[in-house]
Amino acid sequence: MAVLHIPYDDGLLVSSGLSGKEFESELRFLLAAKLYELGRVSAGQAGKLAGMPRLRFLDELSRRGFTVIHLDQDSIEDDLRDNPPAVDQ
C-alpha cells in the first residue's frame, strides 16, 4: 500500500483548533470527499480513504453539505426514459 506524507507546520495545526490526529483525519476526509466529488473514486473507495464505511462516508458528506449523488443530464434523461414517473388518475 502506498503512503502519502503531507508536511505541515505547527501554526496550521494551531489555527485549525484540532489535535494532530483530528487534523489528519479531517485532511483524509476532505481529500476523499474531493476525489469523490470529481468522480475520480467511488463512494466505497472514498470511504476507505477517509477511514470509514461507505454509508458513513456518504452520511458525513451530506451532513457537511457536499453533493452525495452525481448525475449528469444524460443520466437523468436515460433514467426518466427507462423509468417514467407514475401518473395518478
Q: What is the mean pLDDT of each run of 10 residues along the chain (89 residues)?
A: 89 93 95 93 94 94 84 63 70
Q: Is residue 50 part of a domain?
A: yes
Count of domains in the chain?
1
Closest C-alpha to 15, from 27, 23, 7, 26? 23
Domain that holds residue 52: 18-82
Q: What is the pTM of this model?
A: 0.74
Q: Is residue 73 part of a domain?
A: yes
Q: Exposed/middle/buried for 40, CB within 10 Å: 0-12, 13-18, 19+?
A: exposed
Q: Is residue 60 part of a domain?
A: yes
Q: Is residue 5 part of a domain?
A: no
Residue-level pLDDT at 68: 77
Q: Is residue 9 part of a domain?
A: no
